[in-house]
A and B are shown apart, each in its own frame.
Chain A
Amino acid sequence: MTTKPVVAHSEAAVYVYEAPLRLWHWINALSITLLAITGWFIASPLPSVSGEAIDNYVMGYMRFVHFAAAYIFAVGFLFRIYWAFAGNHHARQIFLPAIFDKDWWGGVWHELKWYAFLVKEPRKYIGHNPMATLFMHLMLVWGSVFLIITGFALYGEGTGMDSWQYALFSSWVIPLFGQSQDVHTWHHLGMWYIVIFVIIHVYVAIREDIMSRQSMISTMVSGWRMFKDARDVEDKP
């Protein structure tokens, strides 16, 4: 009834996500997928294989993929932190939610109402909307930090007490949790935390692409944000 019919219009697209950031996004997505799958099969291995031990290396490869993907994930995360400084201001968003800005919280609230079907229209953003920023900050950024630290702590147990992984991570993480088993348990919970992030992230990306006032999925492919109406955006740079 009150929804305005979308009128044909043209509007300049905004270049939001630079190429390195997009590349990081998709590499990160791939490494998380590999990490979750191999992590699951390290904890709950596939059915036992027969034959001689020397002819098989199932767990060995499983762990190799996990460790290789983990290094890519960790190095990617370090790069992402670097890019928060080197990239455009959109690259800083998920690291620095504007939690001291009242208007920003108003944006979170509005977005919550949009998801609860209480408002007719979401606000229009060039970058992330405030709730997306908060969600990515809490789940992806801190989830990654937690998984990288506990992951390296567990890895350092295998590389031994004279390794840098042990010195930098295991030496304080293992005593912090009490013992190795609890670190494993928390690392598992961390995996589920990220899996939940992925489910919601993918869902809202698709939903926003369809229902919000700007492009979503294609933006993470091409870097260009496109808009469906010509009215003002909320986050003027």
Chain B
Amino acid sequence: MIETFYDVMRRQGITRRSFLKYCSLTAAAMGLGPAFAPKIAHAMETKPRIPVLWLHGLECTCCSESFIRSAHPLAKDVILSMISLDYDTLIMAAAGHQAESIIDEIIEKYKGNYILACEGNPGLDEGKTGGMSCIVGGKPYTEQLRRVAKDAKAIISWGSCASWGCVQAARPNPTGATPIHKVPDIGDAPIIKVPGCPPIAEVMTGVVTYMLTFDRLPSLDRQGRPLMFYSQRIHDKCYRRSHFDAGQFVEKFDDEGARKGYCLYKMGCKGPTTYNACSTIRWNGGLSFPIQAGHPCIGCSEDGFWDKGGFYDRLTSIDQFGIESNADDVGLAAVAAVGVGVAAHAAASAVKRAQQKGDQE
């Protein structure tokens, strides 16, 4: 009844040779040894396709746009066929009640055995929206999300929206946009965060392939991100790192340093505080990534990156002390105040002492 991955690939006209190449490339992309290529091949030949329900909440579809551009040789064609992508409002052909009925069908047929891929998050502020925001098929997205999440085997939070909240959850968060793992009554299915705005295409396909192949979740860090792609900072593997260590910085855009490809640290690069694989996997089939294009990293895969002050500042702004101040401004002001206080106190002490000396004489 259910086709295996391999069946689907062959049906799509992919040769066995290409299939094996894909398996080795996937193994390499996930940092696995050569011995894993045949394991991946074996899994794909024997395991049935797992249905995936891909739900869209409050988001911009940049995750999908990234996903469908996975330049990995076969990912674009195959991953989409490999997983049985049964529901995805963005790219499915079906529409209306027929499309919506697929959800019920999958939940019933594959209870506890399908993957929920979330792109975007729900707006939970019912005070302002009456609970009727982001309507899919006549019902709020929140309802659809909870229903599908309840019986899912696992949930993938695609992108910074589903993982952290992203722009719609930035202050003042008018709709109460809430990342998936913080939605009440979301159920017990494990949640994998794949943050980024959007995440890298190969990271997305890599996570899916891992889960299908090994039939388990990739190992996650404490914040729920797959270690294989999010265990190091951009800075740790940046090709401009040598300029950082040497003390060679771009001082302003278009200066000599910028032309020479110096480190963008002083331009507010968030590479040292951002966990992602951009500096290794890069974008658009390994062509480039923001720093390579001469622009500092804005830290789009980090929690709350919209609310941490300017994209060109390395320190979080501390708005309580006035617009655009940061830790150093606050610190310097405090030190200046204390310094003035100490000087004044010293002067007063000196006067007092002089008086006392006068008294003694």
**Measuring CB to CB, which residues of chain A are less than 8 angstroms from any residue of chain B?**
1, 3, 5-6, 43-50, 53-60, 62, 115, 117, 157-158, 160-161, 171-172, 174-175, 178-182, 184-186, 188-189, 191-192, 195-196, 199-200, 203, 207, 210-211
Q: List 20 A-B contacts (CB under 8 A).
A: A1-B359, A3-B356, A3-B359, A45-B265, A48-B247, A48-B262, A57-B245, A59-B245, A60-B246, A117-B352, A160-B231, A160-B236, A161-B232, A180-B275, A181-B308, A181-B316, A182-B308, A185-B327, A188-B331, A203-B345
Choose from A157, A192, A200 the contact partner of B233 (Cβ within 8 Å): A157
Chain B positions within 8 Å of A207 at CB level: 345-346, 349
Bound-complex Cα distance A55 to B242 (A): 10
In the complex the two chains form, is A53's CB within 8 Å of B342's CB?
Answer: no
**Measuring CB to CB, which residues of chain B are less than 8 angstroms from any residue of chain A?**
221-223, 227, 231-233, 236, 242-251, 257, 262, 265-266, 270, 272-275, 299, 302-304, 308, 314-316, 318, 326-328, 330-332, 334-335, 338-339, 342, 345-346, 348-349, 352-353, 356, 359-360
In the complex the two chains form, is B335's CB within 8 Å of A196's CB?
Answer: yes
Task: Other than A45-B266, A47-B251, A49-B248, give 9 A-B pairs with Cβ distance below 8 A.
Answer: A46-B247, A54-B242, A59-B244, A172-B222, A174-B223, A181-B273, A185-B327, A192-B334, A192-B335
Bound-complex Cα distance A179 to B359 (A): 61
Bound-complex Cα distance A150 to B342 (A): 29
Choose from B232, B243, B274, B334 the contact partner of A53 (Cβ within 8 Å): B243
Q: Which label, helix, strand, loop or mixed, suits the secondary structure of the B interface? A: helix
In the complex the two chains form, is A181's CB within 8 Å of B328's CB?
Answer: no
In the complex the two chains form, is B342's CB within 8 Å of A203's CB?
Answer: yes
Chain A residue with the shortest CB-CB distance to B315: A185
Would you list the 6 A-B pairs with minimal beta carbon distance, nearest first?
A58-B247, A192-B331, A188-B327, A180-B273, A56-B246, A53-B246
Q: Which label, helix, strand, loop or mixed, suits the secondary structure of the A interface? A: helix
In the complex the two chains form, is B346's CB within 8 Å of A203's CB?
Answer: yes
Known contacts A161-B227, A207-B346, A207-B349; A57 and B246 CB within 8 A of each other:
yes
Bound-complex Cα distance A207 to B327 (A): 30
Chain A positions within 8 Å of B334 at CB level: 192, 196
Choose from A43, A44, A179, A185 the contact partner of B304 (Cβ within 8 Å): A179
Chain B positions within 8 Å of A43 at CB level: 314-315, 328
Chain A residue with the shortest CB-CB distance to B236: A158
Bound-complex Cα distance A200 to B316 (A): 27
What's the least CB distance linking A75 to chain B, in Å? 25
Chain A residue with the shortest CB-CB distance to B299: A181
Chain B residue with the shortest CB-CB distance to A172: B222
Choose from B257, B342, B348 the contact partner of A48 (Cβ within 8 Å): B257
Chain A positions within 8 Å of B247 at CB level: 45-46, 48-49, 56-60, 62
Bound-complex Cα distance A145 to B230 (A): 29
Bound-complex Cα distance A69 to B232 (A): 25
Bound-complex Cα distance A47 to B255 (A): 13
Choose from B232, B243, B315 the contact partner of A160 (Cβ within 8 Å): B232
Chain A positions within 8 Å of B326 at CB level: 185, 188
Bound-complex Cα distance A50 to B248 (A): 7
In the complex the two chains form, is B331's CB within 8 Å of A195's CB?
Answer: yes
What's the least CB distance linking A121 to chain B, in Å? 10
In the complex the two chains form, is A180's CB within 8 Å of B274's CB?
Answer: yes
Choose from A175, A188, A199, A211 the contact partner of B338 (Cβ within 8 Å): A199
What's the least CB distance linking A122 to chain B, in Å? 12
Chain B positions within 8 Å of A185 at CB level: 315-316, 318, 326-327
In the complex the two chains form, is B338's CB within 8 Å of A200's CB?
Answer: yes
